Each structure stands twice: as structure tokens, then as C-alpha cells.
């Protein structure tokens, strides 16, 4: 009977895959067959096409996405603060309301993107990152429900 796959096996495969090791190298290092490593990889959503090159590119892409999320959150907060400042000097009540509305929208974007950054930093994987970012920016329905206004 085959030895059952353990959480320790899964963790080792994730770690070694993250280091860019090949399927066969991982199998040798953890003392399991290449087929078992492949089975674990499929369950963990890992692939071995491209080996270390793919792992390095994936890690670079994740780091870039993290930096871009942080920049987006910072820009949204800066924009919100700028709109708040404009409400105090607006000459017309309508302009003050419009600036306050823009400030609120930008503050919501900041909060949602910051929440998204926290979620992905803690390993959340529900839905795609792009879906979650779109929801953060546009709301779950993909828009404001006012005919694109």
C-alpha cells in the first residue's frame, strides 16, 4: 500500500517549488516518487513547466503586483485628502458636495485596495486577483448601477 501524502510532504513541495526546484529534484529531496510530487503539485495549484524560470517570474510578478497595490492605495488616499481640502474652499455648495463625494469614493478605493493587499498577503486565494481588484474599484456588480455615469 502506498504511503499517504502528509501535510509535511505538501509543505516541502511548496517550499522547494518556490525555490525553483524541478519535480525530480523535489522527489529526490523528500524521498517520494515524481508521480507523488506531481499529484501534490496539482493539488497545490503548482506547475513545473519552465522550472526555476517560471518560479522566479511568478515571484517577481507577485512582488510587482504588491508594489502596484500599495501605490494604488497611496494614490487613492492622497486623492481623497486633496478632495477634502477642496471642499473647504469651494465657493458653491454643489462643488463642495462633488468634492466630498469624490473624497468618499477615493477613500473607499483606498480601504478596499488595502483590504485586498492584506487578503493576498495572508494567502487568500478566493477568486482571481483581478476579480477582487475590479470588485474593490467598481463594486461587486462591476459598476455603480447608474448606467456607467
Q: What percent of the chain has pLDDT over 90?
A: 46
Report how far residue 14's alpha carbon sits from residue 67's, in angstroms, rounded to the nearest whole number.
23
pLDDT of 26: 93
Report how far residue 109's alpha carbon sits from residue 144's, in angstroms, rounded to the nearest whole number.
13
Predicted TM-score of the model (pTM): 0.47
* Chain segment 70-98, per-residue pLDDT in tens: 899 999 999 999 999 999 899 999 999 99
User: pLDDT category, 10, cuts 50, 70, 90?
Assistant: very high
User: pLDDT category, 130, cuts 50, 70, 90?
Assistant: low
Give which of 60, 16, 64, 66 is closest to 41, Cα–Cα: 16
Amino acid at each position: 500500500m502506498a504511503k499517504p501524502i502528509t501535510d509535511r510532504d505538501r509543505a516541502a513541495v511548496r517550499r522547494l517549488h518556490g525555490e525553483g526546484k524541478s519535480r525530480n529534484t523535489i522527489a529526490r529531496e523528500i524521498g517520494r516518487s515524481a508521480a507523488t510530487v506531481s499529484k501534490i503539485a496539482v493539488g497545490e495549484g503548482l506547475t513545473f513547466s519552465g522550472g526555476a524560470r517560471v518560479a522566479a517570474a511568478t515571484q517577481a510578478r507577485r512582488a510587482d503586483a504588491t508594489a502596484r497595490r500599495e501605490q494604488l492605495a497611496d494614490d487613492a488616499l492622497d486623492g481623497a485628502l486633496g478632495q477634502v481640502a477642496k471642499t473647504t474652499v469651494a465657493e458653491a455648495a454643489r462643488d463642495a458636495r462633488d468634492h466630498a463625494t469624490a473624497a468618499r469614493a477615493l477613500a473607499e478605493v483606498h480601504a478596499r485596495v488595502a483590504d485586498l493587499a492584506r487578503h493576498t498577503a495572508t494567502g487568500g486565494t478566493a477568486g482571481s486577483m483581478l476579480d477582487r481588484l475590479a470588485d474593490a474599484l467598481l463594486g461587486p456588480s462591476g459598476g455603480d448601477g447608474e448606467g456607467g455615469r
